[in-house]
Amino acid sequence: MSSEDALSQSQVESLLKQMESSAGDPPSPDTDADADPVEESATEAAAPPPPAAAPKRSSPEVRAINYDFKRPERVGKEQMRAMQSLHEGLARSFGAAISGMLRTMLEVKLISVDQLTYSEFVFSLDNPSCFNVLKPEPLEGHWILDISPTLSYAIIDRMLGGDPTPVDSIRRPLTEIENRLIGRIVNAFNSELKEIWRNIVDLEIKIQRVESNPQLVQIVPPNEVIVLVGLEVSLGRNRGMVNLCIPFNTIERFNSQLSNNGWVGYSNSRPSDESRKQVSQFIDEAVVEVVVTLAESRIRTGDLLDLSIGDVITTEKDPRSPLELAVQSVPKFSVRPGAHRGKKAVRIENAIEKN
């Protein structure tokens, strides 16, 4: 190496500093050690200031939403709201219908209206269950009405004259006789469902078959979207679900009616003669309790315990005054006692005026 190729002392120190700082942050540029400080300050003063950084434009924040291709949402929000309002009326009318049939008070609530796949619906049900396949003419395809086992056995117990109490679920399919009894409830449900859907499509709903294992029924492909209407029925201390499965492909061509509020079941029009006749028929078949009160009086508990056969109880009631006849515990008529064809009877004289 010649003398011309030798490094100066400042260059050697600069190389050593770069080697020491190679593992950390990059070193700040070193100025030449031999440079004059006055010339450095003059150079810095003459250098133009760095350009100001351009302000960053705030791009609009885009919110990403996960989309599950296994559960495509084919039913719009407007149609789902329409289905919600439509079946709220079904819950009220169905509750009133089976209350009269079972002759007891029960409550029916609309719990949810969701869209999911058919496979998710089937695997969420109990097995065995009361799985009814419905054929809603003139629609293409089938609907499903599922009644939970706890509710179906409680209804059967009530229809046979029992007082159903909560018990452990019976893990067996319904017998043929029990299916016939539950069929009355299903027919009542179909009748109310037909009335609710009358403003959209005139349905004729029939029970095609009844299964105990839901997984044996395949009315649509597993990934087909369905609308699931969940109703909760409270019968005494028993609670159970009634699920209505409506495949979307059966009602897809009626989207316009659902979107245009065609589902509204209430109107200001006057009732027709047919509806009046139907209501009158239901009222005529209703069973009411009729009670005639002979007299009312007060007695001490000691005297009541001393009563025996043949004793006479005196009351403040005049034997010549008319008696009171009450219908469902409401006083309605003044009557006279007597006999008719060898049986005790009363003759209505006049109606009791309400105050």
CATH of the domain at 305: 2.30.330.10
Is residue 263 in a domain? Answer: yes
Q: How large is the average pLDDT for residues 54-58?
A: 51
Q: Answer with the residue of higher pLDDT: 172 or 76.
A: 172
pLDDT-based confidence at 143, cuts 50/70/90?
A: very high
Looking at the fold, whether 242 and 320 belong to one and the same domain comes out as no
Looking at the fold, whether 255 and 303 belong to one and the same domain comes out as no
Looking at the fold, whether 241 and 324 belong to one and the same domain comes out as no
Q: Number of folded domains in the chain? A: 2
The sign of the torsion formed by the CA atoms of 96, 101, 105, 110 equals negative
Whole-model pTM? 0.54
pLDDT of residue 32: 47
Is residue 49 in a domain? Answer: no
Q: Report the mean per-residue pLDDT for the chain.
A: 79
Are 152 and 182 in contact, with CB atoms under 8 Å apart?
A: yes
Sheet order of strands, 343-351 included: 290-293, 323-327, 330-340, 343-351
pLDDT of residue 19: 75
Looking at the fold, whether 242 and 338 belong to one and the same domain comes out as no
Longest Cα–Cα distance of the chain, Å, equals: 153
Is residue 10 in a domain? Answer: no
For 341, other C-beta atoms within 10 Å of its C-beta total 5
> What CATH number does the domain containing 168 carry?
3.40.1550.10
Looking at the fold, whether 181 and 234 belong to one and the same domain comes out as yes
For 273, other C-beta atoms within 10 Å of its C-beta total 7
Q: Answer with the residue of higher pLDDT: 121 or 260.
A: 121
Cα separation of 336 and 323, whole Å? 6
Looking at the fold, whether 154 and 111 belong to one and the same domain comes out as yes
pLDDT-based confidence at 41, cuts 50/70/90?
A: very low
Q: Report CA 313 to chain centroid distance, whole Å.
A: 58
Among 123-137, 225-239, 274-288, the range scoring the smallest mean pLDDT is 274-288
pLDDT of residue 274: 80
Are 228 and 120 in contact, with CB atoms under 8 Å apart?
A: no
For 214, other C-beta atoms within 10 Å of its C-beta total 20
Q: Is 17 left (phi over 0), alpha (psi -120 to 50) or beta?
A: alpha
Residue 85 has pLDDT above 90, yes or no: no
Are 82 and 169 in contact, with CB atoms under 8 Å apart?
A: no
Residue 98 has pLDDT above 60, yes or no: yes
Q: Answer with the residue of higher pLDDT: 41 or 306.
A: 306
Cα separation of 247 and 116, whole Å? 10
Looking at the fold, whether 346 and 237 belong to one and the same domain comes out as no
Are 117 and 225 in contact, with CB atoms under 8 Å apart?
A: yes
Residue 261 has pLDDT above 60, yes or no: no
Q: How large is the average pLDDT for residues 75-99?
A: 85
Residue 342 has pLDDT above 90, yes or no: no
Strand partners, 243: 146, 230
Q: How large is the average pLDDT for residues 67-73?
A: 58
pLDDT digits (tens, 9 = 90+) for 192-235: 999 888 888 888 999 988 988 888 888 888 888 888 999 999 88
Structure-block tokens of residue 199: 């403003």
Looking at the fold, whether 156 and 297 belong to one and the same domain comes out as no
Residue 134 has pLDDT above 60, yes or no: yes
pLDDT of residue 70: 57
Looking at the fold, whether 96 and 221 belong to one and the same domain comes out as yes
Are 95 and 106 in contact, with CB atoms under 8 Å apart?
A: yes
Is residue 60 in a domain? Answer: no
Where does a domain end: 201, 236, 267?
A: 267
Which residue range forms the structural domain that includes residue 140? 77-267
pLDDT-based confidence at 142, cuts 50/70/90?
A: very high
